[in-house]
Structure 1
Amino acid sequence: MVVATEEQQYSSAFKTSTTGASMATSFDYGVECAPIGVTAKHALLLANIEKRLIMGLSDAINSLAKTPEEYLFCFMAPPQPGDSATHMHEVLLQAFCFEHDIYIIKVDSAEKLSRLLGSSSLQSCALIQKNWSPDHQTELLSKAEDQLVDYCEEHWDSPIKPTVRLPDK
């Protein structure tokens, strides 16, 4: 069972979990009419705050190999030009995610993804773990995650996934 959490809980998680005033106020307005890139940003930041985020291609592959059923989204940025080894890993990771019903969200830039997640090194991949109720019977979705699920469902059968443009800031 999947339950979307209340927007108020979503916003308050950012207010109580962040130390920077600018980060807290940027989530006060909700994500109901936000472009999909802003929605993706909100989902990534919330997962990072809640310690449900795995960053990096190697860490993502290792985590998925152990418990693929624990993950909801896989965000993937394009590899650096000429990096065929990373490209092959990403193609295999996409196939694995598709096989295990993990939503793949292609983003426009590894630089933006890395900056957004506060990584000092370039990250081309990020996984979001599922969030469970205290009794571990119900999967909980934030408003942003619920909207991303709807977006992914719209494009599930597309052979080529659209690229989500992450906000520059």
Structure 2
Amino acid sequence: MVIAAEEQRLGKPSAFDFGGVESATIGVIAERALVFAKLENRLIVGLSGAVGSLAETPDEFLFCFMAPPIPGDSATHMQEVLLQAFCFEHDIYIIKIDSAEKLSRLLGSSTMQSCALIQKNWVSDNQTEVLSKVEDQLVDFCEAHWESPVKPIVKLPEK
């Protein structure tokens, strides 16, 4: 069961179009979800950390943010393709973002990071999943593009 939780800390983002044209607002929503998850210690950063965490508890994750692969790094590219397939198989929403640099800067990482996972947030009974407003909006965005053969790329804010 999923319950949308009241989001009070970051305010309400404006509406955006799920229909196809990518707006800057979804990037702000993604940024807020990542920042919240980091503050709440529900964020796994980096490809090796993501793979290890998913191998142990795949049902604990809600989103997988993926930056474009580095050109010419075929080993990392293969790992990322397998990670995406694993996430798809376990109903983890994949959100493709425009830049590993922006992701790394946003998360305060001193090294370049190509992916990040957001863990689900559970009520104390461990049976009810709670979504913040930004997570609920990201779920709506992902559901709108679930069947799309080519996923849209979300542009994270520049700042």
TM-score, scaled relative to structure 1: 0.87
Which residue number corresponds to residue 56 of structure 1? 46
- Deviation sequence 1:28-64 (CA, Å, 0-9, x none): x322436100000000000000000000001000100
Please say if 1:31 is aligned against 2:13.
yes
In 2: Cα distance, 1:100 partner to 1:37 partner: 24
> Which residue does 1:2 correspond to in 2?
2
- Number of aligned residue pairs: give it: 151
Tell me how far apart the structure 2 counterparts of residues 168 and 33 of structure 1 sit (CA, whole Å).
20
Deviations 1:57-79 (Å, cap 9, x if unpaired)?
01000100110000000000011
Matched, 1:40 2:22: no
Rounded to whole Å, the distance in 1 between the matches of 2:97 and 2:82 is: 17
> Bigger shift: 82-91 or 99-108?
82-91
Partner of 2:67: 77
Deviates more, 1:57-66 or 1:34-43: 34-43
Cα separation, 2, equivalents of 1:42 and 1:114: 14
Closer, same or farther: CA 4–32 of 1 in aligned 2, 3 Å: farther
Corresponding residue for 2:19? none
1:149 is matched with 139
**Match status 1:97 vs 2:79:** no
TM-score, normalising length from structure 2?
0.92
| CA contact 1:31–1:143 (8 Å) conserved in 2 | no
Q: CA RMSD in A?
A: 1.0
1:137 aligns with 2:127: yes
| In structure 1, distance between residues paired with 2:15 and 2:107 | 23
More helix per residue: 1
**Structure 2 residue runs without a partner (length 5+):** 17-24
Please identify runs of 4+ aligned residues in structure 1 that moved more than 4 A.
Answer: none
Whether the 8 Å contact between 1:7 and 1:142 is mirrored in structure 2 is yes
Structure-2 separation of matches of 1:161 and 1:33: 20
2:21 alignment counterpart: none
Q: SS of the counterpart of 1:7?
A: coil
Structure 1 residue 158: Cα displacement: 1.2
What CA distance in whole angstroms lies between the structure 1 residues aligned with 2:36 and 2:7? Answer: 12
SS at match of 1:46: helix
